[in-house]
Amino acid sequence: MNQTDFFKCLSDPTRLDILKLVMAQHNICVCELTEQLQLNQPKISRHLALLRNLSILLDQRQGQWVYYRLNPDLPEWAFAVLNIIAQQDVSPMKHINPTIATHCE
């Protein structure tokens, strides 16, 4: 991943919101993202695919659910940028609930 692709990916507000939620939850399912962002599953999935293709996020299937987490092998500069982003106000999103169920219904 190069810096240009990384910043292009972060330039979309939905992807930025997804990353904020992933960083807050550490391991999050698509259904949790759709609930928090009030967006449909296909739209969330398209954005997740871009984040996964750039190796910003990793996915892991657990039963019928797919969970997403930040790639621990990101370059240090990427972590630094994401840490700054995580500290910013998340008011455009629905309040992040840190106690969301670990499975979707």
Which whole-number Å values give the CA distances from 6 to 51, 78, 94, in the listed order? 9, 8, 25
In a domain, 100, yes or no: no
In a domain, 101, yes or no: no
In a domain, 33, yes or no: yes
In this predicted model, what pLDDT tens digit does every residue of 88-103 receive, in sequence order? 765 445 444 444 444 4
In this predicted model, what pLDDT tens digit does every residue of 61-72 receive, in sequence order? 988 889 999 999
Q: What is the model's pTM?
A: 0.81
In a domain, 97, yes or no: no
In a domain, 8, yes or no: yes
pLDDT band at 87 (very low <50, low <70, confident <90, very high): confident
Q: What pLDDT, on a 0 to 100 scale, did the predictor assign at position 60?
A: 94
Cite the beta strand spans of the chain per DSSP E.
28-29, 57-62, 65-70
Contact 82, 71 (CB under 8 A): no
CATH code of residue 53: 1.10.10.10
In a domain, 91, yes or no: no
In a domain, 40, yes or no: yes
Count how many domains the chain has.
1
Q: How far is CA 104 from its chain centroid? A: 17
User: What residue numbers bound the domain in which 77 lies?
Assistant: 3-86
